[in-house]
Amino acid sequence: MSGLHDALDGYLTVRRALGHKLTGAEYLLRQFLGYLDQAGAAAITTDLALAWALLPAASDVYHAQRLSAVRGFASWLHASDPLTQVPSAGLLPARPARALPYLYRPGEITAIMAAAGRLRLHPASRLAYPALVGLLASTGIRVSEAIALQRGDVLAGEGLLRVTRAKFGKQREVPLHPSAAVALGEYARRRDELFPQPKAGAFLLGPSGSPLAYTTVVGTFRRLLELAGVHAGPGQTPPLIHSLRHSFAVATLTGWYRDGADVPALLPLLSTYMGHADPRSTYYYLQACPELLALAAARLPDLPGAAS
């Protein structure tokens, strides 16, 4: 059964290259492969994974942890071996500490921004929501940080964003992509035409000329998702506005791998950019997606079990 053991070594190497420790997962997966060896099985099936996960354990949560470890490995292996079965996320559900986020595709972000123009909203909101979504998607800042931005915090002409009301009180400067700087500058111009004498100094303004409210933003974003036709597939976590932050982190990491950058050296910069006090907090956002795993594996051409 050396094929599965070699594949596991490859899986662990790639995931650890992305910053994951996987100490507990490795322990469980090596137990699982031992179970398959005893059963004389050469491939992962849902039935075998479920039977192993349900072996006597301390709690139902541990059963779910076993199956979750197998699911991650099986998803990786399925890319190179279509006969590998991936246990459904609905089997042995347990409440994880943090759910895997929905990752938006670029076309979905564009559709969400366009949907704001089709909702029956006040002209101020039809201006603000595309700017807000584009800002979140292109910078990865938190929703609370975006709606707290003041006019002087957005230096579109300089391509710079000053996050002065950040989580934990950590202020930072965030560079803007040129296209984002142009879009935010255009939003500011049209906003000032609509509100020449606004009630507040916030950068993003709602219908009354006041700052956007968090609860209103979350509710409106749900409506934009529906109108844009963006929804979760089977086994996926529903898309949320906060998922734009996850998507930014994964897209950034994927771009670095694609460009041949020194990813481990750049990860602390991404942590600072996103306002994390500890790089370990950034690892949560670096969820494995097919392209990301393929790019990471390509860095290790002699990796055992990696797809060619």
pLDDT tens digits, residue range 113-143? 999 888 888 999 999 999 999 999 999 999 9
The H or E element spanning position 175 is: strand 172-175
Q: Is the separation of the CB atoms in 247 and 141 below 8 Å?
A: no
Q: Please tell me which residue in 190, 242, 283, 284 is annotated as part of the active site.
A: 242
Active site residue 242: yes
Q: Taking Cα atoms as reference points, which of 7, 72, 60 lies closest to residue 33?
A: 7
Active site residue 63: no
Mean pLDDT throughout 176-205? 94
Q: Please tell me which residue in 102, 104, 273, 285 is annotated as part of the active site.
A: 285
Q: Please tell me which residue in 105, 122, 167, 299 is annotated as part of the active site.
A: 167
Q: What angle do CA 84, 88, 90 make, to 5 degrees?
A: 170
Active site residue 142: yes
pTM of the model: 0.66
- Per residue in 173-188, pLDDT (tens digit) is 999 999 999 999 999 9
Active site residue 167: yes
Neighbours of 33 (CB within 10 A): 20
Q: Which token pair is 22?
A: 């996987």
Active site residue 122: no
Residue 256 pLDDT more than 60?
Answer: yes
Give the pLDDT band (50/70/90) at residue 262.
Answer: confident
Alpha helices in 229-260 (DSSP H): 243-259
Question: Please, which residues have CB within 8 angstroms of residue 199's CB and are 6 or more apart in sequence?
Answer: 208, 209, 210
Q: Which residue has the tokens 């409106």?
A: 220
Q: Please tell me which residue in 66, 71, 142, 191 is annotated as part of the active site.
A: 142
Q: Is the separation of the CB atoms in 240 and 229 below 8 Å?
A: no
Active site residue 245: yes
Q: Please tell me which residue in 245, 246, 257, 273 is annotated as part of the active site.
A: 245
Residue 307 pLDDT more than 60?
Answer: no
Give the pLDDT band (50/70/90) at residue 283.
Answer: low
Give the pLDDT band (50/70/90) at residue 154.
Answer: very high
